Structure 1
Amino acid sequence: MPAQRISIFPLPGAILFPGLHLPLHIFEPRYRALVTDALARDRRIGMIQPEKPEEGSPLFRIGCLGKIGEVEAKDDGGFDIVLEGESRFAIVRELDVTTQFRQVEAELIEDRLNQALSTIARADFEREARRFADAQGYSVDWGSIAQLDDETLIDGVSQIAPFDHASKQALLEADDLRSRCELLVQLMQFFGARDSDEDRVTLQ
């Protein structure tokens, strides 16, 4: 697939998966310019994490292209938008641009459609998710969870899970649904652990 130019929104801790939605509050001038430009063209923005939170930090290689669905212009010039995930992408190179926002040349990743887990893998995941939710004090509608297809469940939990940015990036970069599910279970076990002082473990 040929490389294409993508305007990017580098945001630590935020990942997007194809088929899922990510609400964003846009207030910085450069990202207001990014959204304004996207709305005037094809409504597409690339979500990607910087390796570090510092300005101008190198970017991780894998991100996700999203299309602006819902958009609300605010009185202060900002936007509330909902980004709809379309395709993961791999950066080829960052471009030298004059825009306020960064742009890259990237290739879209053709993920296999309608992936599914084995019955055992799905059951193992749900069991670990219950343990993790209980340990973290989360209230979860498990009846609704049971109705989700495997992709929506695993990618959805990966997107919202309270892991550090490196862990979330690893989930995004997983090659397929089975690999992502296995990593997610490992991360829930790790982050659900406590040390002798009962403090939650982190990977930071």
Structure 2
Amino acid sequence: MTLPRGMQSQDLPGAVPVFAVAGAILLPGGSMPLMVFEPRYLALVDDALGAGRLLALVQPREDEGGTVPGLHEVGTLGRITAFGETGDGRYLITVAGVCRFRVKAEAEGRAGYRRVRPDFLAYLDDLAGGDKGPVDRRALLAIVHTYLAGLGMATDLAQLEKADDADLTTRLAMACPFSPDEKQVLLEAVNHAERCRLMTAMIQKELLMESSGSSIH
């Protein structure tokens, strides 16, 4: 798992534009393709391309609580690593996760998009790849295969087996169809081992609910 250009703490911005995406999280070391079509986010990408290619992904929240109304308190700084433009004016970008942060305050917005002031202090270990402790990958892979097969989603277990523990948990946390609240819990997990345990428990609960529902009928 390699972070883009080995960014260091002194490279982290004091304010960052926010791409608010419900049900999607970006983890450090992971990457996410995004199709951009809203005018405010097209402007955001234009500005980011001229300012270090940095932006933040933060999940919106339904209530107005939290430090910044309408946004969860933890998000991820990302860096645009690929950019393309479609014939109808949309952008297709790939964003690589750099470091998580707590939202400290809202900064002045620009061109219709929001900006926040991030506090990276609690997550600086992300810059070095985070905690490298062992995860129960065998149990996770087995239950993920069962879960996704039940949803009709194919899994390339051979490819996942090749991934190291950090890459495995990052990929699955970002790709599996968990709820927005569950995704936020996974984003805020303190390390890969906890993220693995949480995913396993979430899937076990979902499979149990499906099994109970089937038995009723």
Name the TM-score class by shorter chain.
0.7 to 0.9
Q: Does 1:29 align with 2:53?
A: no
Contact kept in structure 1, 2:16 and 2:118, CA below 8 Å: yes
Find the partner of 2:190 among 175, 180, 196.
175
Question: C-alpha separation between the residues in 1 aligned to 2:108 and 2:212?
Answer: 50
Contact kept in structure 1, 2:83 and 2:91, CA below 8 Å: yes
Question: C-alpha separation between the residues in 1 aligned to 2:13 and 2:159?
Answer: 39
For 1:5-20, what aligned pairs fall within 5 Å after superposition? Answer: 5-20=15-30
Find the partner of 2:79 among 67, 72, 76.
67
Q: Does 1:101 align with 2:113?
A: yes
Q: Does 1:110 align with 2:110?
A: no
Question: C-alpha separation between the residues in 2 aligned to 1:185 and 1:140?
Answer: 16
Contact kept in structure 2, 1:25 and 1:81, CA below 8 Å: yes
Q: Does 1:51 align with 2:61?
A: yes
* CA positional deviation for 1:127: 2.2
Classify the secondary structure of the residue corresponding to 1:13.
coil
Question: C-alpha separation between the residues in 2 aligned to 1:134 and 1:140?
Answer: 8
**More displaced 10-residue stretch of structure 1: 45-54 or 28-37:** 45-54
Write the letter of the residue equivalent to 2:148.
Answer: A
Contact kept in structure 1, 2:29 and 2:170, CA below 8 Å: no
Write the letter of the residue equivalent to 1:118.
Answer: P
Contact kept in structure 1, 2:125 and 2:131, CA below 8 Å: no
Write the letter of the residue equivalent to 1:111.
Answer: D
Instruction: Give the root-mean-square deviation of aligned CA atoms.
Output: 2.4
Write the letter of the residue equivalent to 2:145.
Answer: R
Q: Which residue of 2 aligns with 1:4?
A: 14
TM-score (norm 2): 0.82
Question: C-alpha separation between the residues in 1 aligned to 2:211 and 2:200?
Answer: 19
Write the letter of the residue equivalent to 2:37.
Answer: F
Structure 1 residues 146 and 66 mapped into 2: Cα distance closer, same or farther (>3 Å)? same
**More displaced 10-residue stretch of structure 1: 97-106 or 126-135:** 126-135
Contact kept in structure 2, 1:17 and 1:159, CA below 8 Å: yes
Question: C-alpha separation between the residues in 2 aligned to 1:53 and 1:26?
Answer: 25
Q: Does 1:87 align with 2:99?
A: yes
* Unpaired segments ≥5 residues, structure 1: 200-204
* CA positional deviation for 1:77: 2.5
Structure 1 residues 50 and 79 mapped into 2: Cα distance closer, same or farther (>3 Å)? same
Q: Which residue of 2 aligns with 1:198?
A: 214
Which is helix-richer, 1 or 2? 2
Classify the secondary structure of the residue corresponding to 1:198.
helix
* CA positional deviation for 1:198: 3.4
Q: Does 1:184 align with 2:199?
A: yes
* CA positional deviation for 1:97: 2.9
* CA positional deviation for 1:192: 2.4
* Unpaired segments ≥5 residues, structure 2: 1-8
Q: Which residue of 1 aligns with 2:171?
A: 156
Write the letter of the residue equivalent to 2:152.
Answer: G
TM-score (norm 1): 0.87
Write the letter of the residue equivalent to 1:188.
Answer: I
